[in-house]
Copies of this chain bind each other. A is one copy, B any other.
Amino acid sequence: MNLLDIGEVASRANVPPSTLRYYEEVGLISSVSRRGLRRQFEPDVMIRLALVALARTAGFSLSEIAAFFGKGELMHEMPRDALHAKADELDKQINKLAALRDTLRHVADCSAPSHMECPKFRQLLRSATRP
């Protein structure tokens, strides 16, 4: 069988083994056996870890992510509405990030003496903070 040693998983996922042990402790991943003392993981764990990393950068907490996964299989416990709600939440966040990005680009390029006097800046700020 093609199980992965914790060290292998760690280097592929680019996280220290301590993080993997921690993730197992909080139920985000699970090892399937040991070789000596060493945890062995199924290759699938890499996908989980990728999703965890992704969701983390999206600002979700580990327990939210755990809820995503549900107790059993990949996201199968979560009702559709909850998933849609999460997706909508993400949409809002994406809009804010886009507004912030545009604001940064504008600030980098605009030559107004003070940003507060620049109408474009103020408009960007409004669109960034309104919705």
Contacts and interface: CB of A to CB of B under 8 A. Distances in A.
Interface of A: 44, 47, 50-51, 53-55, 57-59, 73-76, 80, 83-84, 86-87, 90-91, 93-94, 96-101, 104-105, 107-109, 114-116, 125, 128-129
- Interface SS of chain A: helix, strand, loop or mixed? helix
A74 to B, nearest CB: 5
- Those 9 A-B pairs whose CB atoms lie nearest each other, nearest first: A83-B108, A90-B101, A50-B129, A87-B104, A80-B108, A87-B105, A87-B101, A83-B104, A94-B97
A30 B4 CA distance: 53
B57 A83 contact: no
A57 to B, nearest CB: 6
B93 A57 contact: yes
18 contacts: A47-B125, A50-B129, A51-B128, A54-B100, A54-B128, A54-B129, A57-B59, A57-B93, A57-B97, A74-B114, A75-B115, A76-B115, A83-B105, A84-B105, A90-B98, A91-B101, A93-B97, A94-B101
